[in-house]
């Protein structure tokens, strides 16, 4: 397997970007318990926003990214509003439907590049210095770092507690004064915003995007990252993205079977480790915790 | 602008496509009634049916064997899926088996694509005429005359089996209350597998009908059906057999008509999903169902 610096830079950028998208899914689904099987659609919204702003209006990356985040946040809240009336499997198929509709809109309207896609999306630059290769990889990991910090901050705030509460029991949450509506909308909006940021990063990195980059199988890929890594933790999102991106790269002959691997991973994990490798209730962490607790408590 | 002839033409093509939707949705609706699982992998069973028939037909040239393969192989596949994916997950939140089902669907679809090739395969059955028939200005493809009646007959047969046989009554008892029915001696796993087998046979036959109508099969022919069958069972009301038939036909005709009169707003496939989301929000009990 050839390992060139360019290849490493590409891989690490892709891993970081998808880790951000997965982090968003972990907030919506893992923390707040709102099933979202259409995360790729939000990645697409962010990517298209960024691409259009950069190629048609010549806006710099530093403006495109926040606007992409805002637009995805807005679209995410729309889905959040819809989610108020739906639960579990009905919500799940609604998000699938949303993913399909978004793809058809991208495919059907010239603004989104229709079937040709949008090319010539510029790389960001700082005072004339173009960020490419490892510089761009560094930038995406820095943004992942910021995204993780924000996720941690939100999780420790009132919002994190409310999310956990509506995940466990909506009626009880409502009765103790948590606005289930507000937090369901927020859960989708924040998760979508992360998706949008990931999309913007990917768009400026690849320079060319087309509607099919955000189709439903990509949602399943992001889902497999979440389920493999751990559905409710930050470390889980990063580990999941790393594992899922690297697997077909390490085993090159399996490239053709990528979707097979992702789906098999989902099935295996749901049966064997539903909390993921690094989820909050994961066996790996429990073992570590058990050893530490044993150590301090003695033989009690 | 809307001529009667054009409308009738849309009706004929819509009913044909709608029949294929309905045939795949029948299995989905009885399974949903029993296990409350959205069995997306049913679409994989449909693809398996198409390929089983293709292999049987190309290697033996016998139509009877093709039909048998389109029934037996999917039936086995459906029961295996139920045993592996759903039975151990009955106590879990309903989105867990749904995710399993989607993953299984993509897994089987990609395996078929990798084994038999990503491109569609021509599949013409000899003896089925392909020249369109002209009746009063409306062109009807002979395949429509096979697809629609087969689906309608299959639906009626299923409905009768469901309401008149012991097995059907037992299934209905399980739908009503799984625990009480089991306490009264209904063998739950067995009835579930019989339902999966019957639903999967219908999906396999639908796969064959697809081949008859389009003259080809493709590993990705399940993509559209996988999620559209959901629209159909939401339209017809979850668990209703006649609802699935009517829902499928309505969806087929509505798509045909909407695409020809509003075709420039969105592509054909998008309408189904918009209808799905609107229905789930506004009338989750289906068009004909009563609110619980």
**Cβ–Cβ of A93/B266 closer than 8 Å?**
no
The string of pLDDT tens digits covering residues A108-160 is 888 898 888 898 899 888 887 888 888 999 999 999 999 999 999 998 898 88
pLDDT grade for A239, boundaries at 50, 70 and 90: very high
The string of pLDDT tens digits covering residues B24-39 is 999 888 888 888 888 9
Interface test with B, best of A35, A80, A88, A89 (most B CBs within 10 A): A89
- Stretch among A185-194, B150-159, B271-280 having the lowest mean pLDDT: B271-280
pLDDT grade for B72, boundaries at 50, 70 and 90: very high
What does the pLDDT read at residue B203?
A: 92
**Cβ–Cβ of A263/B110 closer than 8 Å?**
yes
pLDDT at A299 over 50: no
What whole-number distance in Å separates Cα of residue B243 and Cα of residue B285?
A: 11
What does the pLDDT read at residue A21?
A: 96
Let me know: does A260 contact B107? Beta carbons within 8 Å.
yes
Choose the most confident range, by mean pLDDT, from A286-290, B120-124, B248-252: B248-252
**Cβ–Cβ of B102/A37 closer than 8 Å?**
yes
**Cβ–Cβ of B230/A93 closer than 8 Å?**
yes
pLDDT at B291 over 70: no
Q: Pick A267's closest partner by Cβ from B95, B100, B274.
A: B100
**Cβ–Cβ of B267/A92 closer than 8 Å?**
no
B276 CB neighbours in chain A (<8 A) are 93-94, 97
CA distances from A197 to A64, A138, B133 (A): 10, 15, 55
Domain count, chain A: 1
Let me know: does B27 contact B101? Beta carbons within 8 Å.
no
Of B214, B254, B217, nearest to B232 by C-alpha is: B254
Say which CATH architecture domain B4-282 belongs to. Answer: Orthogonal Bundle (1.10)
Q: Which residue has the tokens 């590409």?
A: A10
Give, as one character, the DSSP assignment of residue A122. Answer: P
Question: How much of chain A exceeds pLDDT 90, in percent?
Answer: 45
**Cβ–Cβ of B38/A89 closer than 8 Å?**
yes
CATH number of the domain where residue A55 is located: 1.10.3470
**Cβ–Cβ of B103/A263 closer than 8 Å?**
yes
pLDDT at A270 over 90: no
A227 CB neighbours in chain B (<8 A) are 99
What does the pLDDT read at residue A129?
A: 83
Mean model confidence pLDDT for chain B = 86
Residues in A lying within 8 Å of B, measured between beta carbons: 35, 37, 82, 85-86, 88-94, 96-98, 100-101, 104-105, 107-108, 217, 220, 223-224, 227, 256-257, 259-260, 262-264, 266-267, 270-271, 274
What CA dihedral angle connects B6, B8, B13 and B14, to 10 degrees? 110
Of A207, A182, A190, A222, nearest to A72 by C-alpha is: A190
**Cβ–Cβ of A92/B96 closer than 8 Å?**
no
**Quick one: how far is CA A142 from the chain centroid?**
16
**Cβ–Cβ of B277/A82 closer than 8 Å?**
yes
* ipTM rounded to 2 decimals: 0.84
What does the pLDDT read at residue A251?
A: 79
pLDDT at B56 over 60: yes
What whole-number distance in Å separates Cα of residue B17 and Cα of residue B255?
A: 10
- Distance from the B6 Cα atom to the nearest Cα atom in chain A, whole angstroms: 25
Q: Which domain does A213 fall in, by range? A: 5-297
B105 CB neighbours in chain A (<8 A) are 263
Let me know: does A133 contact A218? Beta carbons within 8 Å.
no
Of B23, B18, B20, B73, nearest to B199 by C-alpha is: B23
SS3 of residue A281 by DSSP: coil
The string of pLDDT tens digits covering residues A202-235 is 999 999 999 999 998 899 999 999 988 888 888 8
What does the block give as tokens for B23? Answer: 């045939």
């Amino acid at each position: 397997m050839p390992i060139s610096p360019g290849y490493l830079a590409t891989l690490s950028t892709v891993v970081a970007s998808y880790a951000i998208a997965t982090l968003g899914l972990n907030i919506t689904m893992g923390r707040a318990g709102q099933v979202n099987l259409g995360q790729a659609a939000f990645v697409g919204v962010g990517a298209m926003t960024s691409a259009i702003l950069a190629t048609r209006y010549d806006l710099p990356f530093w403006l495109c990214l926040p606007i992409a985040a805002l637009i995805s946040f807005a679209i995410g809240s729309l889905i959040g509003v819809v989610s108020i009336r739906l639960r579990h499997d009905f919500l799940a198929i609604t998000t699938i439907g949303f993913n399909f509709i978004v793809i058809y809109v991208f495919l059907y309207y010239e603004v989104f590049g229709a079937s040709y896609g949008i090319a010539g999306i510029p790389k960001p630059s700082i005072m004339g210095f173009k960020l490419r290769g490892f510089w761009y990889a560094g930038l995406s990991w820095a943004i992942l770092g910021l995204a993780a910090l924000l996720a941690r901050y939100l999780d420790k705030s009132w919002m994190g507690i409310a999310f956990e509460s509506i995940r466990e029991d909506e009626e009880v949450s409502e009765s103790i004064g948590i606005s289930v509506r507000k937090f369901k909308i927020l859960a989708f909006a924040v998760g979508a915003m992360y998706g949008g940021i990931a999309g913007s990063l990917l768009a400026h990195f690849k320079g060319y995007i087309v509607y099919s980059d955000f189709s439903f199988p990509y949602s399943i890929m992001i889902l497999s990252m979440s389920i493999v890594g751990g559905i409710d933790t930050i470390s889980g999102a990063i580990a999941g993205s790393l594992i899922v991106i690297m697997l077909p790269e390490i085993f090159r002959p399996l490239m053709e079977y990528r979707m097979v691997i992702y789906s098999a991973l989902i099935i295996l994990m749901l049966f064997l480790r539903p909390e993921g490798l690094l989820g909050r209730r994961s066996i790996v962490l429990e073992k570590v915790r058990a050893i530490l607790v044993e150590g301090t408590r003695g033989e009690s | 602008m809307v001529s009667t002839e054009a409308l009738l033409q849309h009706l004929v093509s819509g009913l044909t496509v709608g029949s294929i939707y309905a045939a795949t949705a029948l299995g989905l609706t009885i399974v949903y009634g029993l296990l409350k699982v959205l069995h997306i992998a049913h679409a994989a069973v449909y693809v398996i049916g198409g390929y089983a028939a293709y292999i049987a037909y190309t290697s033996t040239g016998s139509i009877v064997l093709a039909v048998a393969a389109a029934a037996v192989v999917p039936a086995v596949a459906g029961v295996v899926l139920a045993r592996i994916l759903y039975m151990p997950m009955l106590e879990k939140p309903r989105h867990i088996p749904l995710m399993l089902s989607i993953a299984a669907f993509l897994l089987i679809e990609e395996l078929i694509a990798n084994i038999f090739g990503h491109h569609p395969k021509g599949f013409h059955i000899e003896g089925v005429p392909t020249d369109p028939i002209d009746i009063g200005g409306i062109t009807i493809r002979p395949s429509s005359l096979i697809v629609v009646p087969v689906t309608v007959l299959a639906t009626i047969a299923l409905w009768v089996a469901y309401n008149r046989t012991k097995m059907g009554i037992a299934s209905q008892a399980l739908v009503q209350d799984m625990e009480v029915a089991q306490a009264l001696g209904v063998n739950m796993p067995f009835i579930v597998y019989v339902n999966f087998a019957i639903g999967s046979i219908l999906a396999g036959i639908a796969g064959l009908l697809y081949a008859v109508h389009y003259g080809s099969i493709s590993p990705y022919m399940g993509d559209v059906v996988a999620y559209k069958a959901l629209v159909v069972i939401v339209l017809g009301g979850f668990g209703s057999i006649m609802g699935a038939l009517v829902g499928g036909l309505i969806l087929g005709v509505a798509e045909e008509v909407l695409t020809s009169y509003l075709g420039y707003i969105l592509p054909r496939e998008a309408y189904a999903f918009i209808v799905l989301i609107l229905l789930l929000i506004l009338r989750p009990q289906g068009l004909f169902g009563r609110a619980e």
